[in-house]
Amino acid sequence: MTGHDIKYDTGPDTGPDAGPNAVHDAGHDAGHHAVPVRTNMLVWAALMVLTAITVSVTSFDFGFLNVVVALTVATTKAGLVILWFMHLRYEGRVIRLMVFTAFFILAIAIGFTFFDVAYR
């Protein structure tokens, strides 16, 4: 049995002997889009601004709202990192659905725990 027999099950051949289209196919197959430098810089700048906001907002006392603001800013930052730095924007449906499901389940875990804790 050789490894050659199974390669047809898994999409375009991107091995060393795949010919001149290999690079293109590899890129196409895996959904690789090089994110422009400018985009990465803008995401970084947005993350810096949000960090400045979350630090400066602590000098005001909104009571309970401070935690809400801190978590909202953190979640916005997390979204930027996941969508652009982790390339989720550029991934196919399968990975996007997986990531959504995982965070949805985490939200259920946290939410349901608070139904318990908050009404004890």
Partner 1 sequence: MHEHRDYEGAKIGMWLFLFTEVLLFGGLFLLYAVYLHRYPAEFHAAGKDLSRIFGTANTIVLISSSLCMALAISALQRGKVLLSQRLVLLTVAMAGVFLVNKFFEWSAKIGHGIYPNSPGLLALPPGEMVFFNLYYLMTGLHGIHVIIGGAVLLYGWRLMRAGRVTPEHFVFLENGGLYWHLVDLVWIYLFPLFYLVV
* Site residues for partner 1 per CB under 8 A: 3-4, 6-7, 10-11, 14-17, 22-23, 26-27, 29-32, 34-37, 40-41, 43-44, 47-48, 51, 54-55, 58, 61, 66-67, 70-71, 73-74, 77-78, 81-82, 84-87, 91-92, 94-95, 98-99, 102-103, 106, 109-110, 113-114, 117-118
- For residues 71 and 57, give the distance between their C-alpha atoms in angstroms, rounded to a whole number: 12
| Contact (Cβ atoms closer than 8 angstroms) between residue 36 and residue 89 | no
Report angle CA 49, 47, 110 to the nearest 5 degrees: 115
- For residues 50 and 65, give the distance between their C-alpha atoms in angstroms, rounded to a whole number: 17
Q: Which CB atom, from 1 or from 54, has the smaller least distance to partner 1?
A: 54
Q: How far is the CB of 119 from partner 1 (least distance, A)?
A: 11
